Amino acid sequence: CFAGCTGTESPSASAEAGADNVPTYIVGIDAPYPPFSLVDKEGKPTGFDTESMEWIAKDQGFKVEFRQIAFDSLVTSLEGKNIDIIYSGMTITPDREEKVNFTHPYWQVNQTVIIKTDSSLTMDDVMAGKATVGTQRGTTAGIWMDEHLVANGTMPKENVKHYDTISLAVTDLENGNIDAVMFDSTVINDVMAGKNLEKIGSIDTHEYFGIGVRKSDTALLNSLNEGLDKLMNDPYWQELITKYNME
């Protein structure tokens, strides 16, 4: 809290302006989440969302630092002012919108289901609840199964297996501990690369990704929306899409 502040309206410590009067915002990411949030060989955050964030920050005249946060803790970290921005392939959902203000959508995904190539499991089996399906904890894949399969009794709750990352779920699939994995469609190329895995189907969830900020940070939201709109109309946006081989 700055000198003279009442404690109720305290600006995020992280957003304090430096000597050059340029504020620094802490951006929460859960990496690796290819191609959106990555970490390069030197440990530097990169990826589609990270590079987009850097462009927007430059355009809007602020600085950013990236902080690694488990995906299912991003929203509470934002509320607790441990981070100021969430930018890590997060789907805009009604539940999250109760706690987070999202920018305009910047990307759309559906859900994809994969199995081992030597498995005979079908998408119908999955939809009938007859399979164990891995997902990343706190993500829309698990939320979708809870709402559409578990809630109506089609799928036993234990059949949805929650992992800290998608790669841990995929490893368990390769080891034969679960039958399938469900995740955002754009992630498929990176997840399956070089592995004996295949796609058996998709669910048209029509999810949109947004950048999240605290409800109270309306000026930051406006600035992110302005920067994002400019970026999406700039040739750099297409360059990033090509660079990261996104579908």
How many residues bind ligand ARG (CB under 6 A)? The answer is 12
Residues 35, 89, 134, 227: which binds ligand ARG (CB under 6 A)?
89
Rg (CA), the chain: 19
Stretch binding ligand ARG (CB under 6 A), from 6-14, 83-91, 156-164, 168-176: 83-91
Peptide bond preceding 35: is omega within 30 degrees of 0, i.e. cis?
yes
Residues 6+ apart with CB under 8 A from 109: 91, 184, 185, 186, 205, 207, 209
Residue 139 CB, nearest distance to ligand ARG (Å)?
A: 3
Residue 235 CB, nearest distance to ligand ARG (Å)?
A: 26
**Is 112 or 139 the residue whose CB approaches ligand ARG more closely?**
139
Which tokens sit at 232? 């999406």
Residue 187 CB, nearest distance to ligand ARG (Å)?
A: 8
- Binding to ligand ARG (CB under 6 A) within 126-165 occurs at 136, 139-140
Element (H, E) at 189: helix 188-192
- Binding to ligand ARG (CB under 6 A) within 187-246 occurs at none
Q: Please state whether 182 falls in left (phi above 0), alpha (psi between -120 and 50) or beta.
A: beta
The yes or no reply on residue 51 touching ligand ARG (CB under 6 A) is no
Residues 6+ apart with CB under 8 A from 54: 64
Catalog residues that contact ligand ARG under the rule CB under 6 A. 30, 33, 37, 71, 88-91, 136, 139-140, 184
